[in-house]
Each structure stands twice: as structure tokens, then as C-alpha cells.
Amino acid sequence: MTRIKGLSLFSNVGVAEAYLESIGVDIVVANELVKERAEFYQHLYPKTEMICGDITSDEIRAKIVEKSISKGVDFILATPPCQGMSRHGKRDPNDERNYLIIYAVDVIKKIKPKFILLENVTKILVTKITVNDITMHIPDYLIQELGNDYIIYDDNIFNAEDYGVPQSRSRCIIRMVRKDLKIIWARPEIQEKITLKDAIGHLPSLDPLIREKNMRDFFPEYEIKKEQGLKVSKWHYPPTHSWNHVLWMTNTPSGKTAFYNDVYYPQKKDGTRIIGRLSCYRRYSWDKPANTITQNNGVISSACCVHPGREIKTPDGKTLYSDARVLTIYELLIVTSLPTDWNIPDWADERLIRNVIGEGIPPLMIKAIVSKLINEISKGV
């Protein structure tokens, strides 16, 4: 098998890299700003040299470049933070994180790798930055800085749901190949979509843990369901929610938001109806891939993140809906296309795990895209 050596910039905990080694890409150097994420990454990839620090620091950047050159890096995976551009963020054009691309480009120009994969939200295509008093779109900046040496593909909108991932997540993935190599990096073939029913429909139902109430008063089978879930995985355990959120979602059908409910709608303590985005307090649909998993995937009031649920008929003829909760970590692994035996460190808490999964790139999509490159390289070997 053809093997290439890679550098991961803005690496998070290495979600994107989950399958790269299996297809011939060895990430030998990685850089992450946040210490606990760098330690998480090192736990998952002990053979990778992790450089924890701020890429805007000349000293850190020099270390990244020196280590990468010494280890023969010929592939760079760069995934700058997207909060300044994401529709789930503030979309501040002056967000400092929008300018991190400049430091990634500096590293690229010094290492001169053969191949580059740059990932971000689709808004990167219309986001402007000002460099040397000249304002331009980020893609134009890339062409200005790297276009002489690299083929920069412009068919760069990909959706994870097209590549074996049960999640709809549109991303901008810019592929670059050094011009002296004469290698074509084609798009991978689109695969059949996987629905949530296909992906997690077989898993046992779970009742949520309620902060303020006695569980047995509302979910008499809570303990039994919990035990059944833990038999599947230690990560398939009941999330914890407030009673009001659980009540509203118990009355919300699959694919709908609690804002549509006639009685049990989101409301303040005085009964006043809460006004918010219709993507909030919303259940996933069984017959589609999941909506984009966000960093706040553990909060019912966040953008669509509630289990699809199933109809329950009560003795008095009412219709309620099961699983009034967010997805478990085990379900998130499946929906993100991570291995269900992903080697999560014991010290990582739920907040951290949910955050890094929500910020991660579905690795099966990255595998599909990079596999096309590896196959092309192999033809010339």
C-alpha cells in the first residue's frame, strides 16, 4: 500500500483522522491549541508528535515546520475553527479566527507539501479577510498565495450524507495538488444515503434522567432501559435534562419542534410562550440522515439535536413520544461515523466529548475524499 506522511493543523482530537492510517496516511505531526484536546489526541494517536500551542506564535509555527520537514511530511490536513463563519455562530467578519488561514498558508509555503486538504464551513467561500490593506475573499487569498505552485480545485462543496455518514453536514473541502506532480485528485463517488432509522433504529430506547424529579414517577421503566442501554455500550447511557424540556419533547413527534405544540410548548415560568428558532427544541426525523451535529449537541434547546422518538399510547388514549432526550455519546459516534469502539480516554468528561465530536469532521467523508488521492498516487508507483 502507498503511504504518505501528514501534518494535521487545528487538529481538535483527531476526529477527521480516524480512518486515515487504514488507507495509507500516517499523521506524524499535529498541532492543537487547547491542552485537554491535545492530550485527547495524543491518547488516540500515541505515535503522532503533538505540538500543543498557538499557531499564531512564530515559535510554535517554526516548530511545526521543522518537525514536519524532518519527518518528511507531504500531506497537510488543515481545519481552522469555523465559529466566525458558521451559521451557528455570530458570523463576525472581524472574528480573529477567520484570519487563522493566514498562518496555515505560512506553514504550507514553508513545508511545500505535495497535497493539501483544507476544510471549513461553506461560508468560507464568501468570507473576506484584509491582508496588507487589501480585502479579498478567502478563496482568492489562497489563489494569490498558493496558485502558482498548486492546482486548487474549485468543486469544493461536499455533504457528509453522500459518503456513508448518517448526518447531513455540508462542508467546503478545498483540495490542492502541487503542480509538478501531474496528479488528478478527483471527487469520490456519491453513496446511498443512510437514514437515522438505518443507523440507530436498532438501539434500545432510553428515558432521560430528570434533574428535578423522581424518575420512577414519570418513567417506571427507567432503570430497566438504562441497563439495556449499558449492555450495548458504556456510552449508551441516559442523558440528563430539566423536567420542562423533557415534558415538552415527550409531546413532540419525530421531525417536529416543540414550538408547534398546542399545549406543551417552550414557555417561561409565567407561561409566556418562548420565541426562538424553529430548529430548536426539535427532534430528528427517522427517515433522513441527522441534521448537522453541533458543539451544543447535549442541550435540548440547541439546534436540532433530540432523538426522533417513537409513538407511545397511554391508557387514557393520549399519544406521547419516547426518548425525550438528546443523542447518547454512543449514538453520536454512529451518526458522526466514528468507530463505536473509539478509544475515548477515561478522564474525558461528557462536555468535552460532546464538544469535540460536534466540532469534528465526519471521518468517513474524509476517508472517501483522501482515498481518491491515494488511489491516484498508487497508479504511478
Give dist(CA 77, CA 309) in Å, integer: 37
> What interhelical angle do 350-359 and 329-336 show, nearest 10?
20
**143: DSSP letter:** H
Amino acid identity at 355: N
What ranges make up the beta strands (E) of the chain?
4-9, 25-32, 49-52, 75-78, 115-120, 128-131, 134-137, 150-152, 157-159, 170-178, 209-210, 240-241, 311-313, 319-321
* Catalytic one of 82, 172, 280, 304: 82
Distances (CA, A) of 236 to 114, 153, 200, 207, 367: 42, 41, 11, 11, 26
Give the three cell numbers for residue 50. Answer: 503533538
Which residue in 76, 68, 62, 74 sits closest to 17, CA to CA? 76
Q: Which helix (H) or strand (E) holds 32?
A: strand 25-32
Q: Helix 58-70 to helix 100-111 angle, to the nearest 10 degrees?
A: 30
| Residue 172 annotated as catalytic | no
- Catalytic residue list: 82
